[in-house]
Structure 1
């Protein structure tokens, strides 16, 4: 098994979905005017990326800019928002930087093609009435809101300029979307020509985009590992299952923002130098810290089980785990969500038998035990059985990913698998107190 496969073997699939109980009709009729005003004033998470520690180059890792950072360069990133709004704000993160981050210019615009933006739509982003801002180590800063009407599924381009050296920066390796950098301050550039020769596939420094000004129902957060992150789907096409979930909800007339908080390689119970803080730690920031969250889809646990006991490839050791330990981790997520009034739905762990290096009969027993608990314990308010959705139905292949859904490695769903997951999850999200007038 290649080192790249070892890295990707740190993924996971137990999902829990967080939902909010609908407001009784009598209460809604009394407070509808106030509710409408509140929803129009409140922010909704429309896009997000779970950032983690910068990574020094390793022999098996893909190239990224996190370790070198940016010096007198502009960083341009394209995101697709999932909710409508008349105003936009951007969250810049230095949670895992090694020095204060000085941002010397920023803008947001509607995306044209590639690195180009639509002329006339560039909006400078300001921070406390200034074009520049210093973000302390471990902190995040919101831009001031800008007037820029956006529709669900519309792409926005965010450009950041750093005059001085940033040092290593917070990032998200598997962005599955092209990002760009170029010399100088190009925050107002519309052509994108200068960005053509320096591209990557990771996200940097921007951890969220939020919208307000229309009546949204709130937000959904998809939390997990590489299966949530979208590994196995087609890059630059927004075919990750959270993207497809947002599309399905929109088609059903739902006004819900969907934020992807997946991290490839992430584990529920163990921190990693390469794959971020453990799930039971980062859940509070990456899920509960999202604006307007009322639903969270948590897909995590396979890396703890399948990766347990594998050699350290430079990212830290991964202990062998028991079913009881994984279950206790899920119980911790449930408690954290319910403390915030969020209802939780669990999804079963998907197959990994054909994934090189992960499968043993003992590990399969752990996965099966966790799935039995998710299905039958009643700990979750409801269950979405992604194991049954994605498992190969042929006799003798019951612990394998169905070929029609397999991206080719036996673990990660392809575009069709992402679609099937989105359909199953969308069916479990109940109607909220939406005003569709």
Structure 2
């Protein structure tokens, strides 16, 4: 069992265990040992970050730990998470590191790792790294300490890669686009890419100050972007999160479309063009039942995985699929990227608008979702409410009530101390009663 790593690296409140400078140094040293263990000679790691104030602290601490074990560090500065996967491969690095807590508030931060192939590390690799962290720092000899240097053009390289995923002659001339960058890692790259493709760009959330990432903006809080779309008469809006690996779309009426709708659009288009490998889309257990029914109606399959875009990617690689993602907006197009890429997915939605001549409101409603309700219950570290008998009984009763009418999903968040209770059911009254009964039992257990 992993102790530090969750579903997407190590994450927590800055200056609180495990997200302290001391721990970041130890993690850097352990990862350096892990990737140097089988060979000698020059080794390199690329480090990117989002715009959080604590990013400076963790960047320096990780650099110290990595160079202490002989790794040479290439600092990319603020770049989207998918740029780190790209740069790890293109710079022939042994390791990629992204310092970000994604959609979480500014006081949180996290550390994500990519292997030399540009893909996130496996559970087994993270378990082995945790063992090395427990063993402590083993520094290299003085003459073997690594170096660190800045790479100034990382965001430009990434921008070119994103544009290259579109047909070369496709332009966005005449398209008015609101782009919400969540005051995060894509605050410069995303508007630049859209402008270079010819769009009339209306930027939102492009003034990071270290403390306002995801604050009242971005994919988890798209209201300002939706209002901006309507106020400016824009054709479409793109909402990214803090590290730009997820996206939600906004149509010209201000309605929000989640990752399920975007995946449905891409899967249908790729299948029609003969580009969808394996006749399937890979998504998590959180994706709406309506998506599964929509795909089945087109002769396509939905392959479900555990929550977390890296589990989606692992299944895609195992089965040879090239499209997957999460309802939250991680969209993985493995023909072009190694992880979720919000900007790239948003551009492909815009490309479909141009190629089809249809408005965003037509494209963003691919299916009618089954009513879905999700509620979260926060618990203290050390607790495990799901092990208590009264909670187990409430879950069993809820499953019995939904039998044949819907589905129930209970899980712990991999990034926050939350129990997530989600259900789907056509009967909205039954849906609400079912979720509330489980939430009530968990809350009673937490407060006891």
TM value normalised by structure 2:
0.27
Normalised by the length of structure 1, the TM-score is 0.28
The structure that is helix-richer by fraction is 2
Which structure has the greater CA radius of gyration?
2
